[in-house]
Amino acid sequence: MNQGRYVFSQIMGLVSTTSFQTIVNKHFGDYKVREFSCWKQFLCMAFGQLTHRESISDTILCLKANANKMYHFGIGNVVSVSTITRANETRSALIYEELAMLLIKEAKQLYKNDNELEVSLKGNIFAIDATTIDLCLSTFYWANFRSTKGGIRLHTQLDLKTSIPEFILFTNADIHEVNVLDIINFEANSFYVMDRGYVDYKRLYKIHTSNAFFITRAKDNMNYRRLYSHPKDKTKGVLYDQTIMLNNYYAAKDYPEKLRIIKFRDDQTGKVLVFLTNNFHLKATEVAQLYKNRWEIELFFKWIKQHLKIKTFWGQSENAVKTQVWIAVSVYVLVAIAKKKYMLKQSLYEILQILSISIFERIHINQLFQQTQLQNIKEQNSNQLILFDL
Protein backbone atom coordinates (compact mmCIF):
# COMPACT_ATOMS: atom_id res chain seq x y z
CA MET A 1 0.00 0.00 0.00
CA ASN A 2 1.27 3.48 -0.84
CA GLN A 3 2.37 5.36 2.29
CA GLY A 4 2.52 8.86 0.84
CA ARG A 5 5.55 8.21 -1.37
CA TYR A 6 6.25 10.66 -4.14
CA VAL A 7 5.65 9.50 -7.71
CA PHE A 8 9.36 9.91 -8.45
CA SER A 9 10.27 7.62 -5.54
CA GLN A 10 7.81 5.00 -6.75
CA ILE A 11 9.39 4.96 -10.22
CA MET A 12 12.93 4.83 -8.84
CA GLY A 13 11.79 2.10 -6.45
CA LEU A 14 11.51 -0.20 -9.47
CA VAL A 15 15.33 -0.31 -9.52
CA SER A 16 16.88 -2.90 -7.22
CA THR A 17 19.29 -0.88 -5.06
CA THR A 18 21.08 -4.11 -4.10
CA SER A 19 21.78 -4.99 -7.73
CA PHE A 20 22.72 -1.39 -8.46
CA GLN A 21 25.22 -1.30 -5.58
CA THR A 22 26.74 -4.58 -6.75
CA ILE A 23 27.43 -2.97 -10.13
CA VAL A 24 28.84 0.15 -8.46
CA ASN A 25 31.18 -1.91 -6.28
CA LYS A 26 32.35 -3.86 -9.32
CA HIS A 27 33.53 -0.63 -10.98
CA PHE A 28 34.63 1.13 -7.73
CA GLY A 29 32.12 3.88 -8.44
CA ASP A 30 31.85 5.02 -4.81
CA TYR A 31 35.56 4.77 -4.07
CA LYS A 32 36.54 7.65 -1.75
CA VAL A 33 33.09 9.19 -2.13
CA ARG A 34 31.65 10.88 0.97
CA GLU A 35 28.19 12.17 0.11
CA PHE A 36 27.34 12.17 -3.59
CA SER A 37 27.15 8.45 -4.35
CA CYS A 38 26.51 6.83 -7.73
CA TRP A 39 22.92 6.19 -6.65
CA LYS A 40 22.38 9.90 -5.96
CA GLN A 41 24.03 10.70 -9.28
CA PHE A 42 21.58 8.37 -11.03
CA LEU A 43 18.61 9.91 -9.18
CA CYS A 44 19.62 13.46 -10.17
CA MET A 45 20.17 12.52 -13.80
CA ALA A 46 16.95 10.48 -13.96
CA PHE A 47 15.06 13.40 -12.41
CA GLY A 48 16.40 15.65 -15.16
CA GLN A 49 15.33 13.14 -17.81
CA LEU A 50 11.83 12.62 -16.41
CA THR A 51 11.12 16.33 -15.94
CA HIS A 52 12.60 17.38 -19.32
CA ARG A 53 15.31 19.61 -17.84
CA GLU A 54 17.50 21.28 -20.46
CA SER A 55 20.83 21.18 -18.61
CA ILE A 56 22.54 20.23 -15.36
CA SER A 57 22.14 23.81 -14.13
CA ASP A 58 18.43 23.63 -14.89
CA THR A 59 18.19 20.30 -13.03
CA ILE A 60 20.03 21.54 -9.94
CA LEU A 61 17.96 24.74 -9.87
CA CYS A 62 14.74 22.71 -9.91
CA LEU A 63 16.02 20.38 -7.19
CA LYS A 64 17.03 23.32 -4.97
CA ALA A 65 13.60 24.87 -5.42
CA ASN A 66 12.19 21.67 -3.89
CA ALA A 67 14.96 21.06 -1.34
CA ASN A 68 12.47 20.02 1.36
CA LYS A 69 11.47 17.01 -0.75
CA MET A 70 14.98 15.78 -1.59
CA TYR A 71 15.27 13.62 1.55
CA HIS A 72 12.20 11.67 0.48
CA PHE A 73 13.60 11.38 -3.04
CA GLY A 74 16.73 9.74 -1.64
CA ILE A 75 18.95 12.58 -2.86
CA GLY A 76 19.44 14.39 0.44
CA ASN A 77 21.32 17.66 0.24
CA VAL A 78 21.33 19.13 -3.27
CA VAL A 79 24.85 19.24 -4.67
CA SER A 80 26.46 21.90 -6.85
CA VAL A 81 26.60 21.80 -10.63
CA SER A 82 30.35 21.17 -10.54
CA THR A 83 29.89 18.09 -8.33
CA ILE A 84 27.47 16.32 -10.66
CA THR A 85 29.48 17.42 -13.71
CA ARG A 86 32.63 15.94 -12.17
CA ALA A 87 30.77 12.71 -11.39
CA ASN A 88 29.60 12.40 -15.00
CA GLU A 89 33.12 13.01 -16.25
CA THR A 90 34.97 10.62 -13.93
CA ARG A 91 32.67 7.77 -12.87
CA SER A 92 32.66 4.89 -15.31
CA ALA A 93 29.76 4.89 -17.78
CA LEU A 94 29.91 1.08 -17.59
CA ILE A 95 27.96 1.37 -14.31
CA TYR A 96 24.95 2.79 -16.10
CA GLU A 97 25.42 0.55 -19.13
CA GLU A 98 25.17 -2.52 -16.90
CA LEU A 99 22.20 -0.98 -15.09
CA ALA A 100 20.41 -0.43 -18.41
CA MET A 101 21.09 -4.00 -19.52
CA LEU A 102 19.84 -5.30 -16.16
CA LEU A 103 16.60 -3.34 -16.56
CA ILE A 104 16.27 -4.55 -20.16
CA LYS A 105 16.55 -8.16 -18.95
CA GLU A 106 13.80 -7.54 -16.39
CA ALA A 107 11.57 -5.80 -18.96
CA LYS A 108 11.97 -8.69 -21.40
CA GLN A 109 10.65 -11.11 -18.78
CA LEU A 110 7.63 -8.88 -18.16
CA TYR A 111 6.84 -8.56 -21.87
CA LYS A 112 7.82 -12.06 -23.01
CA ASN A 113 4.21 -13.12 -23.69
CA ASP A 114 3.33 -9.91 -25.53
CA ASN A 115 3.11 -9.94 -29.32
CA GLU A 116 1.21 -7.26 -31.19
CA LEU A 117 2.62 -8.24 -34.59
CA GLU A 118 0.24 -9.39 -37.30
CA VAL A 119 2.56 -12.31 -38.15
CA SER A 120 2.62 -15.06 -35.52
CA LEU A 121 6.02 -16.71 -35.19
CA LYS A 122 7.54 -18.83 -32.42
CA GLY A 123 11.03 -17.39 -32.80
CA ASN A 124 12.15 -13.90 -31.85
CA ILE A 125 11.84 -11.05 -34.34
CA PHE A 126 14.48 -8.33 -34.15
CA ALA A 127 15.00 -5.07 -36.02
CA ILE A 128 18.56 -3.82 -36.41
CA ASP A 129 19.31 -0.19 -37.19
CA ALA A 130 21.42 2.78 -36.12
CA THR A 131 20.86 6.48 -35.60
CA THR A 132 23.41 9.28 -35.59
CA ILE A 133 23.47 11.97 -32.91
CA ASP A 134 25.30 15.06 -34.17
CA LEU A 135 27.87 16.75 -31.94
CA CYS A 136 29.98 19.87 -32.24
CA LEU A 137 33.45 18.67 -33.24
CA SER A 138 35.25 21.59 -31.58
CA THR A 139 33.63 20.68 -28.24
CA PHE A 140 33.42 16.89 -28.56
CA TYR A 141 36.82 16.48 -30.22
CA TRP A 142 36.84 12.71 -29.62
CA ALA A 143 33.65 12.11 -31.67
CA ASN A 144 35.17 11.90 -35.16
CA PHE A 145 32.68 11.92 -38.03
CA ARG A 146 33.50 14.37 -40.80
CA SER A 147 36.11 17.08 -41.22
CA THR A 148 33.81 19.75 -39.76
CA LYS A 149 31.31 17.65 -37.87
CA GLY A 150 31.28 15.28 -34.91
CA GLY A 151 28.82 12.64 -33.84
CA ILE A 152 28.13 9.33 -32.19
CA ARG A 153 26.14 6.43 -33.60
CA LEU A 154 23.65 4.45 -31.56
CA HIS A 155 23.42 0.87 -32.89
CA THR A 156 20.35 -0.96 -31.64
CA GLN A 157 18.78 -4.40 -31.92
CA LEU A 158 15.11 -4.04 -30.97
CA ASP A 159 12.79 -6.91 -30.08
CA LEU A 160 9.77 -6.18 -32.29
CA LYS A 161 7.43 -8.29 -30.16
CA THR A 162 8.07 -6.24 -27.02
CA SER A 163 9.62 -2.95 -28.32
CA ILE A 164 12.43 -3.51 -25.77
CA PRO A 165 16.04 -3.11 -26.98
CA GLU A 166 18.02 -6.35 -26.96
CA PHE A 167 21.43 -4.91 -27.82
CA ILE A 168 22.84 -1.37 -27.80
CA LEU A 169 26.28 -0.22 -28.91
CA PHE A 170 27.77 3.27 -29.09
CA THR A 171 30.48 4.09 -31.63
CA ASN A 172 31.83 7.17 -33.33
CA ALA A 173 29.61 8.20 -36.23
CA ASP A 174 32.32 7.35 -38.77
CA ILE A 175 31.90 3.62 -38.01
CA HIS A 176 29.56 2.16 -40.65
CA GLU A 177 26.39 0.57 -39.31
CA VAL A 178 27.00 -2.77 -41.05
CA ASN A 179 29.97 -3.48 -38.75
CA VAL A 180 27.59 -4.18 -35.86
CA LEU A 181 26.70 -7.50 -37.55
CA ASP A 182 30.18 -8.75 -36.56
CA ILE A 183 29.30 -8.34 -32.86
CA ILE A 184 25.71 -9.59 -32.60
CA ASN A 185 25.19 -13.21 -31.54
CA PHE A 186 22.48 -14.49 -33.85
CA GLU A 187 19.86 -16.81 -32.37
CA ALA A 188 18.68 -19.86 -34.30
CA ASN A 189 15.14 -19.63 -35.74
CA SER A 190 15.02 -15.87 -35.07
CA PHE A 191 14.34 -13.20 -37.69
CA TYR A 192 16.55 -10.14 -38.21
CA VAL A 193 14.93 -7.28 -40.13
CA MET A 194 17.26 -4.62 -41.56
CA ASP A 195 17.33 -1.93 -44.23
CA ARG A 196 19.58 -2.30 -47.26
CA GLY A 197 22.43 -0.45 -45.58
CA TYR A 198 23.18 -3.81 -43.96
CA VAL A 199 23.43 -5.75 -47.22
CA ASP A 200 26.84 -7.37 -46.98
CA TYR A 201 26.69 -10.90 -48.37
CA LYS A 202 29.46 -12.28 -46.20
CA ARG A 203 27.76 -11.01 -43.06
CA LEU A 204 24.32 -12.13 -44.27
CA TYR A 205 25.74 -15.60 -44.83
CA LYS A 206 26.89 -15.59 -41.21
CA ILE A 207 23.23 -15.12 -40.20
CA HIS A 208 22.25 -17.96 -42.54
CA THR A 209 24.85 -20.36 -41.12
CA SER A 210 23.60 -19.51 -37.61
CA ASN A 211 20.25 -21.07 -38.64
CA ALA A 212 18.63 -17.66 -38.35
CA PHE A 213 16.70 -15.67 -40.95
CA PHE A 214 17.19 -12.17 -42.31
CA ILE A 215 14.82 -9.85 -44.17
CA THR A 216 16.25 -6.82 -45.90
CA ARG A 217 15.83 -4.81 -49.09
CA ALA A 218 17.77 -5.73 -52.21
CA LYS A 219 20.17 -3.23 -53.72
CA ASP A 220 19.21 -1.79 -57.10
CA ASN A 221 22.36 -3.04 -58.80
CA MET A 222 22.18 -6.62 -57.48
CA ASN A 223 23.33 -9.09 -60.16
CA TYR A 224 21.51 -12.42 -59.94
CA ARG A 225 19.89 -15.20 -61.95
CA ARG A 226 16.42 -16.63 -61.43
CA LEU A 227 16.16 -20.33 -60.58
CA TYR A 228 12.45 -20.63 -59.84
CA SER A 229 9.33 -18.48 -59.70
CA HIS A 230 6.89 -19.07 -56.86
CA PRO A 231 3.13 -18.50 -57.18
CA LYS A 232 2.24 -14.83 -56.71
CA ASP A 233 -0.92 -12.95 -55.82
CA LYS A 234 -0.95 -9.51 -57.43
CA THR A 235 -4.23 -8.66 -55.68
CA LYS A 236 -2.25 -8.66 -52.40
CA GLY A 237 0.62 -6.62 -53.82
CA VAL A 238 3.03 -9.47 -54.66
CA LEU A 239 4.45 -8.68 -58.12
CA TYR A 240 6.89 -11.62 -58.13
CA ASP A 241 8.41 -14.15 -55.74
CA GLN A 242 11.57 -15.89 -56.94
CA THR A 243 14.39 -18.16 -55.85
CA ILE A 244 17.72 -16.78 -57.08
CA MET A 245 21.49 -17.20 -57.01
CA LEU A 246 24.00 -14.36 -57.07
CA ASN A 247 26.02 -13.92 -60.28
CA ASN A 248 28.86 -11.65 -59.22
CA TYR A 249 32.00 -13.70 -58.49
CA TYR A 250 32.80 -12.18 -55.10
CA ALA A 251 29.15 -11.93 -54.02
CA ALA A 252 28.56 -15.59 -54.96
CA LYS A 253 31.68 -16.55 -53.05
CA ASP A 254 30.50 -14.68 -49.95
CA TYR A 255 26.94 -16.06 -50.22
CA PRO A 256 27.01 -19.40 -52.11
CA GLU A 257 23.44 -20.45 -51.20
CA LYS A 258 20.03 -19.73 -52.71
CA LEU A 259 18.18 -16.54 -51.84
CA ARG A 260 14.58 -15.43 -52.15
CA ILE A 261 13.64 -12.13 -53.76
CA ILE A 262 10.14 -10.62 -53.49
CA LYS A 263 8.83 -7.57 -55.32
CA PHE A 264 5.93 -6.03 -53.44
CA ARG A 265 3.68 -3.02 -53.99
CA ASP A 266 2.24 -1.33 -50.91
CA ASP A 267 -1.40 -0.49 -51.66
CA GLN A 268 -1.47 2.28 -49.05
CA THR A 269 1.56 4.22 -50.26
CA GLY A 270 1.93 2.90 -53.81
CA LYS A 271 5.64 2.24 -53.19
CA VAL A 272 7.30 -0.77 -54.79
CA LEU A 273 9.81 -2.55 -52.54
CA VAL A 274 12.13 -5.46 -53.34
CA PHE A 275 12.86 -7.73 -50.37
CA LEU A 276 15.74 -10.16 -49.96
CA THR A 277 15.54 -13.05 -47.51
CA ASN A 278 16.86 -16.54 -46.81
CA ASN A 279 13.47 -17.76 -45.57
CA PHE A 280 11.41 -19.86 -47.99
CA HIS A 281 8.56 -20.82 -45.65
CA LEU A 282 6.78 -17.53 -44.94
CA LYS A 283 4.23 -16.15 -47.35
CA ALA A 284 5.45 -13.24 -49.45
CA THR A 285 2.89 -10.97 -47.77
CA GLU A 286 4.20 -12.04 -44.34
CA VAL A 287 7.75 -11.11 -45.35
CA ALA A 288 6.47 -7.68 -46.39
CA GLN A 289 4.55 -7.31 -43.13
CA LEU A 290 7.62 -8.17 -41.03
CA TYR A 291 9.66 -5.57 -42.88
CA LYS A 292 6.90 -3.03 -42.31
CA ASN A 293 7.23 -3.64 -38.57
CA ARG A 294 10.87 -2.52 -38.81
CA TRP A 295 9.41 0.97 -38.43
CA GLU A 296 9.16 0.23 -34.70
CA ILE A 297 12.89 0.81 -34.29
CA GLU A 298 12.57 4.19 -36.05
CA LEU A 299 9.85 5.09 -33.55
CA PHE A 300 12.16 3.99 -30.72
CA PHE A 301 14.89 6.35 -31.95
CA LYS A 302 12.40 9.16 -32.44
CA TRP A 303 10.85 8.60 -29.02
CA ILE A 304 14.12 8.52 -27.12
CA LYS A 305 15.50 11.57 -28.95
CA GLN A 306 12.37 13.69 -28.53
CA HIS A 307 11.27 12.75 -25.04
CA LEU A 308 14.56 12.03 -23.25
CA LYS A 309 17.42 14.47 -23.09
CA ILE A 310 20.15 12.99 -25.29
CA LYS A 311 20.28 15.62 -28.02
CA THR A 312 21.56 18.25 -25.56
CA PHE A 313 24.48 16.79 -23.64
CA TRP A 314 25.35 17.70 -20.08
CA GLY A 315 29.05 16.89 -20.34
CA GLN A 316 31.82 17.04 -22.95
CA SER A 317 33.88 13.90 -22.40
CA GLU A 318 33.07 10.57 -24.00
CA ASN A 319 32.36 9.10 -20.58
CA ALA A 320 29.89 11.90 -19.71
CA VAL A 321 28.01 11.51 -23.00
CA LYS A 322 27.77 7.72 -22.60
CA THR A 323 26.63 8.14 -18.98
CA GLN A 324 23.82 10.44 -20.06
CA VAL A 325 22.68 8.21 -22.92
CA TRP A 326 22.73 5.02 -20.81
CA ILE A 327 20.70 6.74 -18.09
CA ALA A 328 18.26 7.90 -20.80
CA VAL A 329 17.90 4.29 -21.96
CA SER A 330 17.42 3.19 -18.33
CA VAL A 331 14.61 5.72 -17.87
CA TYR A 332 12.94 4.52 -21.09
CA VAL A 333 13.02 0.92 -19.85
CA LEU A 334 11.84 1.96 -16.36
CA VAL A 335 8.79 3.57 -17.93
CA ALA A 336 8.17 0.33 -19.85
CA ILE A 337 8.52 -1.68 -16.61
CA ALA A 338 6.15 0.68 -14.78
CA LYS A 339 3.60 0.32 -17.58
CA LYS A 340 3.57 -3.45 -17.14
CA LYS A 341 3.87 -3.67 -13.34
CA TYR A 342 1.17 -1.08 -12.71
CA MET A 343 -0.93 -2.41 -15.64
CA LEU A 344 -1.22 1.05 -17.19
CA LYS A 345 -3.29 1.46 -20.34
CA GLN A 346 -1.57 4.59 -21.63
CA SER A 347 1.26 4.57 -24.18
CA LEU A 348 4.88 5.10 -23.13
CA TYR A 349 4.68 8.64 -24.51
CA GLU A 350 1.56 9.44 -22.48
CA ILE A 351 3.03 7.88 -19.34
CA LEU A 352 6.20 9.95 -19.60
CA GLN A 353 4.27 13.18 -20.17
CA ILE A 354 2.06 12.53 -17.14
CA LEU A 355 5.04 11.60 -14.97
CA SER A 356 6.89 14.77 -15.97
CA ILE A 357 4.22 16.97 -14.34
CA SER A 358 3.41 14.62 -11.44
CA ILE A 359 6.87 13.90 -10.01
CA PHE A 360 6.12 15.78 -6.77
CA GLU A 361 2.68 14.25 -6.23
CA ARG A 362 2.04 12.00 -3.21
CA ILE A 363 -0.29 9.61 -4.95
CA HIS A 364 -0.10 5.97 -5.93
CA ILE A 365 0.77 5.58 -9.61
CA ASN A 366 -2.28 3.41 -10.27
CA GLN A 367 -4.54 6.12 -8.86
CA LEU A 368 -2.67 8.83 -10.79
CA PHE A 369 -3.28 7.14 -14.13
CA GLN A 370 -6.83 6.10 -13.30
CA GLN A 371 -7.65 9.74 -12.67
CA THR A 372 -5.95 10.69 -15.92
CA GLN A 373 -7.95 8.06 -17.79
CA LEU A 374 -11.20 9.29 -16.28
CA GLN A 375 -10.28 12.87 -17.20
CA ASN A 376 -9.60 11.79 -20.79
CA ILE A 377 -13.02 10.11 -20.96
CA LYS A 378 -14.66 13.23 -19.53
CA GLU A 379 -12.94 15.43 -22.10
CA GLN A 380 -13.88 13.13 -24.96
CA ASN A 381 -17.53 13.26 -23.92
CA SER A 382 -17.46 17.05 -23.65
CA ASN A 383 -19.13 19.12 -26.36
CA GLN A 384 -16.39 21.74 -26.13
CA LEU A 385 -13.58 21.79 -28.66
CA ILE A 386 -10.20 20.55 -27.47
CA LEU A 387 -7.46 22.95 -28.46
CA PHE A 388 -4.75 20.36 -29.19
CA ASP A 389 -6.95 17.45 -30.28
CA LEU A 390 -5.04 16.41 -33.42
Instruction: For residues 372 and 366, give the distance between their C-alpha atoms in angstroms, rounded to a whole number.
Output: 10
Give me the pLDDT at residue 52, please.
85
One-letter amino acid of 356: S
What architecture (CATH level 2) is domain 205-283?
Single Sheet (2.20)
Range list for CATH 2.20.25 in the chain: 205-283
As beta bridge partners, residue 134 has: 151
Instruction: Per residue of the chain (390 residues), give pLDDT as tens.
Output: 445 789 999 999 999 999 999 999 999 999 988 889 999 999 999 998 898 888 888 888 999 998 888 888 889 888 888 999 999 999 999 999 999 999 999 998 898 777 767 677 778 899 999 988 776 655 665 666 666 677 788 899 999 888 888 888 888 888 889 999 999 999 999 999 999 999 999 999 999 999 999 999 999 899 999 999 999 888 899 999 999 999 999 999 999 999 999 999 988 888 999 999 999 999 999 999 999 988 889 888 887 777 666 656 666 788 888 898 899 899 989 999 999 999 998 888 889 889 989 999 999 998 998 865 545 434 334 344 333 333
Nearest Cα to 130, choosing from 180, 166, 76, 61? 180
Q: How far is CA 30 from CA 23, 38, 88, 326, 373, in A?
A: 11, 6, 13, 18, 42
Instruction: For residues 243 and 262, give the distance between their C-alpha atoms in angstroms, rounded to a whole number.
Output: 9
Tell me the whole-structure pTM to 2 decimals: 0.81
